[in-house]
Chain A
Amino acid sequence: MLGKVKDRLLGAIESMTDEEVSEKIRRLDPRLNEFGVDPFGFDPKFVKYGIPFALFLYRKYFRVESVGLSNVPAGRVLLIANHSGQIPLDGAMICVAMIVDAEPPRMVRSMVETWVPTLPVLSWFFPRVGQIVGTRENCQRLLERDAAILAFPEGVRGVSKNFAKRYQLEEFGLGFMRLALRTGAPVVPVAVVGAEEQVPSFYSFKPLAKALGIPAFPITPTFPWLGPLGLLPLPVKYRLHFGKPLHFLGDPDDEDSVVAEKVKQVRRTLQRMIRDGLEARKHVFW
């Protein structure tokens, strides 16, 4: 009985996706085993279940404009983007862009925190849609399988930064560069323009954030005054700029200062792309 309801529900969700997108999802990864799963637990079927909502955000709500998708080279690649918006939807939008607007469609994998496997439902849903625990070994293994990896070197500091600091990149971690050097993967900077205005936070209430165990407790014109509804992102227009691939050579185990030089180069490029993107846009909302 319950199974039937579930099947019908999943069928309904599946039928919301048009044939063109379904076809693209089918083309995502040909290296699945006889049960339709890859070694990391990725199952394209679940992308189909998740994509109607993501596509709504992508096409209708944020009206995402993706520029330069053809810059993403075939084979292994690291997409490096700015992280923002209190509610991190930027990753999902980049993933959707690479599935529906790139040719050939690519599955983008990003790395999740280690608390994800401890939570019911999320623990299996994330791996099924290709997102796995962010350890160095996992990332390296995926790159060696020629995957496209999305990373936000600002980490959670980027997501929780205040409105006054919008579009100013935080410090970058070095891990992604060491992986790029180790696997020979090119780095493609992705500037996300628009997301930094979706939840304008004036102030982060640190003691409360700490008490709740979350990275930030933002105070916005609508939150917490309107309750959880106040966290609803504004319908800003997203623009994703995919830059030219950067190639790096060197010893992956070199001193931090040497690797940091290369990271700076990526950060500068990304900052410049963000600035250009901001100058080119006419309005935050359209």
Chain B
Amino acid sequence: MSSGRSRKRGGEPIAIAGISGNLGRLLTRTLHGEHPIIGIDQRPFEEKPKDVTHYQVDARRSRAEDIFRRRDIRALVHLGLVHHPTPGRPNNREWNVLGAVKLLEYCQRYSVPKVVLLSTAYMYGPGPTNSNFLSEDTPLLGAKDYPEMRALIEWDMFAQSFFWKYPAVETVILRPVHVVGPNVRNAPCNYLRMRKPPMLLGFDPMLQLVHENDLIQAILLSLEPGMRGVFNIVGPGEVPLSILLKELGKTPVPIPHPLAKPLATRLWRWGLSKFPPGELPHLRFQCMVDGTRAKEVLGYRPRYNLKRTIHSVLG
């Protein structure tokens, strides 16, 4: 009986919101063939595999609700929120969050049994009073020096209250550390790909990185029936920023920290730098997390070692 049920489940599609992003395409490559995939994204999906149905819709419109009304969706994976600000482009996170909230509403209304949401360990925020390894219960104070983070934190909090309000939906919230890899174009990767990345004079925080494929593995594990909760996703280890840059063959430019913020803010505003000023505290203080819960509950183990993870930044 159980096998019959699982076959039926295998026939129901997995919806991926934010499928057109780099991580979305990577997840699609991993999943399609084994599972039917539905894509939900306002952006077009270039080089889409044939067996993927892509809906280029705004999640807030009723057309998006129709997807959930008409199809028996097995799980929603939401990747569409965590991307980093780009210079010269308005911050559209607020309405991104509104769309994401709508999608959760559809999941509840049309009894989608599983929701996997990608958040980030940025939520905790770097700071001098941080313990070295923050647990999932740490308050989310990441917007203190990074106002653009506020919408995301509200989204994470909303997802948490959704988790408690609707126990019939298995909700998983993943908070990975800095995601790196050849396909990723986020702030940490942009930083590590700079020819002369800035460092703050006299500061050398410890960092955690996770390989994009390890994050995909964590998402797959979260899709397993029975998994629910908030999980920090860590990589293979911790390393000081200076060693990380040395390993990548970079020559950092030390900047005294009182000058760094005005400098970074101006360069960002003029579109001359790809480094969001809100990221500066990450170069000064640590924001490392404890990945024990994902290890024990999800059975997640990073497969890429520290060296490979670091070098994957350069592809």
Contacts and interface: CB of A to CB of B under 8 A. Distances in A.
Nearest to B202: A120
Q: On chain A, which size bracket covers the interface?
A: 20 to 34
A114 B285 CA distance: 11
Contact of B132 (A33, A37, A40): A40
Given A34-B307, A120-B257, A123-B203, A133 B128 contact: yes
A41 B206 contact: yes
A235 interface: no
A137 interface: yes
B243 interface: yes
A272 to B, nearest CB: 35
A123 B132 contact: no
Interface in A116-155: 116-121, 123-124, 127-128, 132-133, 135-138, 141
B133 A33 contact: no
Contacts of B202: 119-121, 123-124
B240 A37 contact: yes
B133 A137 contact: yes
Nearest to A115: B128
Interface string B107-128: 0000000000000000000001
A124 B202 CA distance: 7
A123 B204 contact: yes
Interface string A14-44: 0000000000000000000111010111010
B132 A141 contact: yes
Contacts of B239: 33, 35, 37
A133 B131 contact: yes
Nearest to A114: B129
A39 B132 contact: yes
Nearest to A117: B128
A39 B203 CA distance: 17
A34 B237 CA distance: 10
B132 A138 contact: yes
A120 B203 contact: yes
A124 B204 contact: yes
A133 B238 contact: no
B173 interface: no
Interface in A240-285: none
Contacts of A135: 129-131
B194 interface: no
Contacts of B135: 137
Contact of B237 (A39, A132, A133, A137): A39
B238 A37 contact: yes
Contact of A41 (B130, B203, B240, B305): B240
A127 to B, nearest CB: 7
Nearest to B305: A34
Contacts of B157: none
A37 B131 contact: no
Contacts of A41: 132, 206, 238, 240
Interface of A: 33-35, 37, 39-41, 43, 114-121, 123-124, 127-128, 132-133, 135-138, 141
Q: Which 3 A-B pairs have the closest CB atoms?
A: A120-B202, A124-B204, A117-B128
